[in-house]
Structure 1
Amino acid sequence: MSDDYLLMQRCIDRAITLERHQGRFHRAVKRALPRLHRSIDLPPQDRARHLTCFVIRYIECVPEWLWQVEQLCSVAGLDFTPVRKVIGHSFAAPPERHPDQVGLAALLDDAYLAHRALEEINEHLQPACGMPLLPMDPIIANTVVRELLGERFAGEIDSICCGLGGRFRGLRLAPDSLVAMILCRQRFNETPGAWPDFARTLNIQLRPPIAELVSSTLH
C-alpha cells in the first residue's frame, strides 16, 4: 500500500482507540437519536451502540477498499492517483471545519467522501465493464451517514465526489484491459469478508417512504 493508505490507517486506528477509551461518539449518537430521520430503521435494542459499530466499520474499511479499487483501475490502465490524493489529503488535514470534534466524528466526513467517490466511480465504470466494481450495494450505508452529517454538508461532499467520478465518465476499455479487470475483481471477491455489507450485518435498514408503502399496498 502507498503512504496515503498507511496515513489513513493511522488516523483511523487513533480514532477507534480514542472511542474505545472515551466513548465520545457513542454519547453523541445517543443524544442525536431522537432527531434521526424516521427512514433509518435501527434494531430496537441499544440503537446507539449499533449505530456506533456501524460507523466504526464504515470508516475502518476505507483504506482497504480504496486500495482494491485502485488495483482494479491499475490493471486496466486507469489512473486512480488523483482520487487517492484527494481522499488522503482529507484524512490528513486537521478538522478545521469542526474543531470541537475529534475521533470518529472528525473522520466521518472523510469516510463519506471515500465511499461516495467509490460509488460514483463504480457508476461510471460499470457500463464499460459490464459489471459493478463494487460487490455490494453502498446506498444504505451512505444514506445513513448522509443523515448523520446533515444534508447541506453531505451535499458539498457529493459535489467533490461527482468531480472525482467524472474522471471515469465515458471510458471505453480495450478487451485485454477488461479481462484483466474482471480477473482482478474475481480474485478480490473470493477473499472472505473483503467487502462486508455492514449495514445489513447490523440490521440497519431504510424504511420505504409512506407514498411507496401506500402504492405497494394498492397494487
Structure 2
Amino acid sequence: MCDHYQLIQQCIDRAVAAEQSRGRFRRALHDTLPNLHRSIHLPQRDAPLHITCFVIRYIQAIPSWMQRLDEMCNAGGLDFHPLRELILHSFSQVPERQPYEHGLGSILDEAYLAHRAMEEINDMLHPLCGTPLLPMDPMVANLVVRELLGEKLACQLDDLANILLQRFEPAELDPERLVSMILYKQRYDDAPGEWPDFASQLQIELRTPSLSRQIDLSH
C-alpha cells in the first residue's frame, strides 16, 4: 500500500482501537438508532453492536478500495490526484481537530465522502468500460451512514463529492487508455470476499413498501 493510503489506514486503525477501548460510538447509538428512518431494518438483538461492526467494516475498506480505483484511473489517464489528496487531508486532520475524542464518529463523515466519491466515479465510468471498475454495490451502506450523519451534513458531503467529480473528464478517454484501464481491472476480478456488502452481512436491510401496498395507499 502506498504512503498516501498507509496514512489513511493508520488514522482508521487509531479510530477502531479507540472504539474497542472506550466504546463511545456504540454507546451513543442507543440515542441515535430510534431516530433512523423506518425503512432501515436492524437485527432486534443488540442493534448498536451490529451498526458498530458495520461502520468499522465500512471505514476499513476505504484504503484498499481507493488505491485500486486510483491505479485503474491512472492506467486510463484520469487524474485521481485531487480526490486522493482531499480524502487524505480530511482523514489526517481528524487527530488535530479532536485529539481526545478520536474515534469512529470523528471519521465517519470522511468515510462517507470517500465511499460516495468512489460510488459516483464507478457509476460514471461503468458505461464507458462496460463493467464497473470496482465490483461493489455500496448503495444500502451509504444510505445507512447517511442516516447516521444526518441529512444536512450528508448533503454537504454529497456536494463536495460532486465538485471533485467535475474534475474527471471520462469523455477524453482514448481507446488505448480505455483498454489499459480495463486490462488493469482484470487483475482484481478474481478477488472473492474483498467486495462485501457490509449491510447485508450484518442483517441490515432497507425495507420499502411493495408496489401493491403503495397502490392501496394511493386510494
Judge same fold: TM > 0.5, yes or no. yes
Q: How far is 1:166 from its partner?
A: 2.1
* Amino acid corresponding to residue 24 of structure 2 in structure 1: R
Counterpart of 1:158 in structure 2 is 158
1:214, CA displacement in angstroms? 1.6
CA distance in structure 2 between the partners assigned to 1:193 and 1:118 by the alignment: 18
Q: Distance in 2 between matches of 1:146 and 1:99?
A: 24
8 Å CA contact 2:78, 2:169 repeated in 1: no
Instruction: After superposing the two structures, state which structure 1 stretch, 134-143 or 82-91, moved more.
Output: 134-143
1:1-219 alignment runs, 5 A limit:
1-94=1-94, 101-208=101-208, 210=209, 212=211, 214-215=213-214
Query: How far apart are 1:189 and its partner, in Å?
Result: 2.7
**CA displacement 1:65-100 (0-9 Å, x = unmatched):** 100000111111111111100000000113787788
SS of 2:94's equivalent in the other structure is: coil
* Residue deviations 1:11-30 (CA, integer Å, cap 9, x gap): 10011111111111110112
| 1:45 Cα deviation from its structure 2 partner | 1.6
Q: Identify if the C-alpha distance between structure 1 residues 114 and 169 changes in structure 2 by more than 3 Å, giving closer, same or farther.
A: same
Q: How far apart are the structure 2 equivalents of 1:109 and 1:145?
A: 9
Q: CA deviation at 1:49?
A: 0.6
Alpha-carbon RMSD across the aligned residues, in angstroms, is 2.2
Three-state SS of the structure 2 residue aligned to 1:114 is helix
Q: What is the CA-CA distance between 1:179 and the residue it aligns to?
A: 2.0
Whichever residue aligns with residue 47 of structure 2, its letter is: R
The percent of aligned pairs where both chains have the same amino acid is 53
CA contact (8 A) 2:199 2:205 kept: yes
Q: Distance in 2 between matches of 1:100 and 1:17?
A: 13
Distance in 1 between residues matched to 2:198 and 2:35, nearest whole Å: 23
CA distance in 1, matches of 2:173, 2:180: 10
Partner-residue secondary structure (3-state), 2:214 = helix
Tell whether the 8 Å contact from 1:83 to 1:164 is kept in structure 2 after alignment.
Answer: yes
- Cα distance between partner residues in 2 of 1:130 and 1:112: 26
Q: Which amino acid aligns with 2:166?
A: G
The residue identity in structure 2 corresponding to 1:215 is Q
**Aligned with 1:153: secondary structure?**
helix
1:125–1:168 contact (8 Å) kept in structure 2: no
Q: Which moved more, 1:177-186 or 1:22-31?
A: 177-186
- Provide the rounded CA distance (Å) in 2 between the counterparts of 1:120 and 1:100: 33
Paired residues of 1:121 and 1:166 also in contact (CA < 8 A) = no
Partner-residue secondary structure (3-state), 1:43: coil
- With the length of structure 1 as denominator, give the TM-score of the two structures: 0.90
Count the aligned residue pairs.
Answer: 217
2:193 counterpart SS class = coil
Structure 1 unaligned segments of length 5 or more: list them: none
Instruction: Supply the distance in 2 between the matched residues of 1:177 and 1:69 (Cα, whole angstroms).
Output: 15
Structure 2: unaligned runs, 5 residues or longer:
none
**Partners in 2 of 1:115 and 1:216 — Cα distance?**
34
Higher alpha-carbon deviation: 182-191 or 105-114? 182-191
Counterpart Cα distance in 2 of 1:14 and 1:170: 36
- Measured in 2, the distance between the counterparts of 1:18 and 1:100 equals 10
